[in-house]
Copies of this chain bind each other. A is one copy, B any other.
Amino acid sequence: MTIGIVGLGLIGGSLAKALKAYTDTVVWGGDISQNVISAALDLGVIDGRLSQNCLSKCDMVVVTLYPAETVEYVKKHARLFKKGAIVMDCCGVKSFVCSALKSVAENAQFIFIGAHPMAGAARGGFENSFPELFLNASLILTPYENTPRKAVKTVWKLALKLGFGRLQIVTPERHDEIVSYTSHLCHLLSCAYISSPLAPEYEGFTAGSFRDMTRIARINETMWSELLIENREHLCREADEFILRLRELMELVRSQDRRGLCRLLRKCREIKENLDAKQEKSG
User: Which residues from chain A sit less than 8 Å from chain B, CB to CB?
Assistant: 118-121, 137-138, 140, 166, 168, 178-179, 181-183, 185-196, 198-200, 202-210, 212-222, 224-226, 228-229, 232, 235-236, 238-243, 245-250, 253-254, 256, 258, 261-269, 271-276, 278-279, 282
Chain B residues, CB < 8 A from A120? 207-209
Chain B residues, CB < 8 A from A247? 243
Are A193 and B199 closer than 8 Å at their CB atoms? no
Known: A183-B210, A195-B271, A222-B262. A205 touches B178 (CB 8 A): yes
Are B182 and A193 closer than 8 Å at their CB atoms? no
Are A186 and B210 closer than 8 Å at their CB atoms? yes
Are A245 and B213 closer than 8 Å at their CB atoms? no
Give 12 A-B pairs besides A186-B193, A219-B268, A232-B256 with Cβ atoms closer than 8 angstroms.
A120-B207, A140-B205, A182-B210, A186-B209, A189-B189, A191-B265, A193-B245, A203-B275, A214-B272, A217-B269, A225-B258, A239-B250
Q: Would you call the interface of chain A mostly helix, strand, loop, or mixed?
A: helix
Are B217 and A262 closer than 8 Å at their CB atoms? no
Are B118 and A205 closer than 8 Å at their CB atoms? yes
Question: Separation in Å of the A280 CB from the closest CB of chain B?
Answer: 11
Q: How far is the CA of A275 from the CA of B211 in the complex (A)?
A: 10
Are A207 and B276 closer than 8 Å at their CB atoms? no
Question: Separation in Å of the A120 CB from the closest CB of chain B?
Answer: 6
Interface centre among A213, A222, A232, A266, by most chain B C-beta atoms within 10 angstroms, is A213
Are A253 and B266 closer than 8 Å at their CB atoms? no
Q: How many copies does the complex hold?
A: 2
Contact of A213 among B186, B192, B256, B264 (CB under 8 A): B186
Are A246 and B250 closer than 8 Å at their CB atoms? no
Chain B residues, CB < 8 A from A178? 202, 205
Q: How far is the CA of A272 from the CA of B213 in the complex (A)?
A: 11
Are A188 and B276 closer than 8 Å at their CB atoms? no
Are B138 and A204 closer than 8 Å at their CB atoms? yes
Are A194 and B279 closer than 8 Å at their CB atoms? no
Are B209 and A275 closer than 8 Å at their CB atoms? no
Chain B residues, CB < 8 A from A191? 249, 264-265, 268
Q: Which 4 A-B pairs have the closest CB atoms?
A: A221-B265, A192-B246, A118-B207, A186-B209
Are A258 and B271 closer than 8 Å at their CB atoms? no
Q: How far is the CA of A228 from the CA of B282 in the complex (A)?
A: 34
